[in-house]
Amino acid sequence: MQSRLLCILMLSLLLCSCSGSFKVKSQVPTPLIQPMPLTVGTYYPKELRQYRYEESNEARKEWKIEQGDAQMQMFSQVLAGMFENVVDLNQQQGAADLILTPRVEEFQYTVPRETRSNIYEVWFKYHLQLHEGSGRLVADWFMTSYGKTPTAFATSDAGGLDLAIQMALRDSGAKLLMDFSRVPEIRQWMEQNLNKSTLAIRGEQP
């Protein structure tokens, strides 16, 4: 009886270790930057709102990672700090100066046993589009972000990946905040539509 119970326990442990699922929560803080005097619309397409990573590689654990809410929270938090007014829209045109449409183009990760390092790592590649309220495309660019855990010690795979994803989300927000006005097409648009004093307040050299 005792050995049967032990077998059942070991079998359940083996089954548990082959699959895993969790939902990521974004913990990106409020940015400390001067907001631009613009009304920006956010259009979150279905593929971002319901973004879920499902592992297809048979050699890896069957991960199902829900990230849609966390991605939207991160963009909303960051954009609310970047611009004076932010409105949610359900299409790529509407009553806003600019409309941002983000999509997760690619998600990659590594766990310690694959790299023989002591860290979990995560990469995101975003496809970002910026339209004017009229629907005219202003900029279309890609942005990458990276997150890693300080150590894998005393961390489960799910805990390690969750933390690495949160670090990558934080990096995505920082990247968007710091690099937004460095995208040449956006820079050109800003120079044409924002006055010099606004750019100077933000530390941008017109």
Partner 1 sequence: MKQLILPFFMLLSGCSSVTIDEFRHSSASLHQGESIVILGRRHANNYETEPSLINCLQESMTKQGLNVIPEQQFLDEFYPFFEPRTAPLNLPGMNRLQSQERLASRMQQHKLRYLIWVDGNTETTSSVGSISCALVPGGGCLGFGSWDEEAGYESIIWDLKREVVAGRIHASAKGTSYMPAVVVPIPLLAQVETETCRGLGKQLTEFFKPQGETNNAVQN
Q: Closest CB to partner 1 among 96 and 164?
A: 164
154 belongs to the binding site for partner 1 (CB under 8 A): no
Chain residues 28-67 in contact with partner 1, contact rule CB under 8 A: 28-34
End-to-end CA distance of the chain: 78
Residue 115 beta carbon to partner 1: minimum distance, rounded to whole angstroms: 10
Q: Does 205 bind partner 1 (CB under 8 A)?
A: no
Three-class SS state of 64:
strand
Of the two residues 12 and 50, which places its CB atom closer to partner 1 in the complex?
12
Residue found under tokens 């699922």: 21
Q: Is 158 in the site for partner 1 (CB under 8 A)?
A: no
Contact (Cβ atoms closer than 8 angstroms) between residue 137 and residue 93: no
- Residue 11 interacts with partner 1 (CB under 8 A): yes or no: no
| CA pair distance 83, 37, nearest whole angstrom | 6
Nearer to partner 1, 6 or 8 (CB): 6
Convert residues 160-199 into a mask of x (bound to partner 1 by CB under 8 A) and - (unbound).
----------xx-xxx-xx---------------------
Phi, psi dihedrals of residue 70, rounded to the nearest 5°: -65, -40
Contact predicate 147/169, CB 8 Å = yes
Contact of 43 with 90, CB cutoff 8 Å: yes
For residue 86, what are the β-bridge partners?
Answer: 40
**CB of 10 closer than 8 Å to CB of 55:** no
- Give the nearer residue to partner 1 in terms of CB position, either 77 or 92: 77
Q: How far is the CB of 95 from partner 1 (least distance, A)?
A: 28
In the block, which residue shows the tokens 């006005």?
Answer: 181
Binding site for partner 1 (CB under 8 A): 2-3, 6, 28-34, 117, 119, 146, 148, 150-151, 170-171, 173-175, 177-178, 201, 203
